[in-house]
């Protein structure tokens, strides 16, 4: 369709993957290499070195750090980042992946990621996810949430060391335009890479069951028209919990859903259900923005 800002997996030409040189971003890097091998994508690996201008915000009750020491520390961190990026480039080359490394210095990580995305115009952004304890189980970091909220392309969030597989893909839908965009992405990925496709719609209470059933019936009709086998589920419960239960029960390798839902409040420009699914998912989660004409 003309005028779309969302990019389909039919042409996954450029991927922007973000790393912070920590074990939490290793899964994101591995996912980028996996997609590059499957689609022949160009991978842009971005690391951001944060600036800490202590001397610009003097506090009488804090120990003063000299500008020279601050600069020396920054130089050390920048050198370490460049060495890490070079090691990643060598690893990618051994796997036959074309990797471009990028280093940015800045004070706002999510802003730097979005600026890089504006320059590269990737078809997909890949981010790592932190741990699964405490609040991390319920909500993601603000950087991830803000990138998803502002990104014009799909964002893949990968838990630490979690492999990206597409033998089983789970699509969660609430019938919203965002879910419709996620459905199209799920169909495109299934057509391209094979595997089985599952769909779930969750009713918060028994009175919402007819709506949830209508949603999965519509998806089934769409899948049948395109010759794609589809397994559907309708569940009563809390949407994020139900989606995670289905993912665990069926051992899916990827969850796909829209960035916003049909109802409920939004936090940091993203739907609360989507945020909670990402925070608890045992596998990578692909978040798809609504198509903007």
Binning pLDDT at 50, 70 and 90, where does residue 249 land? very high
Beta bridge partners of 14: 42
* Residues 164/285, Cβ–Cβ less than 8 Å: no
Residue with tokens 């800045």: 106
Domains of the chain by range and CATH?
9-158 (3.40.50.620), 168-288 (3.40.50.620)
Give residue 35's pLDDT: 92
Give residue 254's pLDDT: 96
Give residue 32's pLDDT: 96
Give residue 291's pLDDT: 57
pLDDT in tens, 24-57: 899 999 999 999 998 899 999 999 988 764 444 4
* Residues 277/167, Cβ–Cβ less than 8 Å: no
Residue ranges of the alpha helices (H) in the chain? 26-39, 67-94, 109-120, 142-150, 177-193, 209-225, 239-250, 272-280
Give residue 108's pLDDT: 81
Give residue 277's pLDDT: 92
Give residue 162's pLDDT: 86
Alpha-carbon distance of 27 to 159, in angstroms, equals: 6
Nearest to 91 by CA among 162, 159, 37: 37
Mean pLDDT in residue range 193-203: 93
Residue with tokens 């610009």: 56
Give residue 53's pLDDT: 47
pLDDT in tens, 206-236: 999 999 999 999 999 999 999 999 999 999 9
pLDDT in tens, 79-103: 999 999 999 999 999 999 999 999 9
Binning pLDDT at 50, 70 and 90, where does residue 241 land? very high
Give residue 42's pLDDT: 95
pLDDT tops 70 at residue 259: yes
* Residues 31/284, Cβ–Cβ less than 8 Å: yes
Give residue 22's pLDDT: 85
Record the pTM: 0.85
| Helix or strand (DSSP H, E) at 273 | helix 272-280
Between β-strands 285-288 and 254-258, what pairing exists: parallel, antiparallel or unpaired?
parallel
pLDDT tops 50 at residue 269: no
Binning pLDDT at 50, 70 and 90, where does residue 123 land? very high
């Amino acid at each position: 369709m003309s005028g779309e800002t969302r990019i389909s997996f039919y042409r996954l030409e450029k991927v922007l993957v973000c790393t912070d040189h920590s074990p939490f971003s290793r899964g994101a890097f591995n996912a980028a290499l996996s997609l590059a091998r499957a689609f022949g994508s160009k991978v842009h690996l971005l690391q951001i070195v944060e600036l800490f201008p202590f001397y610009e915000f003097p506090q009488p009750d804090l120990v003063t750090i000299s500008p020279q020491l601050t600069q020396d520390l920054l130089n050390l961190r920048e050198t370490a980042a460049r060495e890490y990026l070079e090691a990643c480039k060598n690893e990618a080359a051994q796997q036959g992946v074309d990797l471009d490394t990028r280093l940015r210095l800045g004070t706002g990580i999510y802003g730097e990621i979005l600026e890089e995305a504006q320059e590269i115009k990737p078809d997909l952004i890949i981010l790592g996810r932190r741990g699964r304890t405490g609040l991390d189980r319920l909500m993601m970091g603000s950087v991830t949430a803000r990138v998803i909220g502002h990104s014009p392309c799909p964002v893949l969030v990968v838990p630490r060391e979690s492999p990206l597989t597409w033998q089983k893909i789970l699509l969660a839908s609430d019938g919203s335009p965002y879910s419709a965009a996620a459905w199209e992405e799920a169909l495109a990925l299934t057509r391209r890479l094979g595997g089985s496709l599952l769909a779930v719609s969750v009713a918060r209470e028994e009175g919402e069951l007819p709506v949830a059933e209508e949603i999965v019936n519509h998806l089934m009709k769409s899948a049948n028209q395109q010759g794609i086998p589809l397994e559907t589920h309708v569940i009563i419960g809390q949407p994020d919990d139900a989606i995670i239960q289905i993912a665990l029960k069926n051992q899916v390798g990827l969850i796909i859903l829209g960035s916003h839902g049909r109802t409920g409040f939004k936090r940091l420009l993203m739907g609360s259900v989507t945020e909670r699914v990402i925070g608890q998912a045992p596998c990578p989660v692909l978040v798809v923005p609504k198509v903007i004409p």
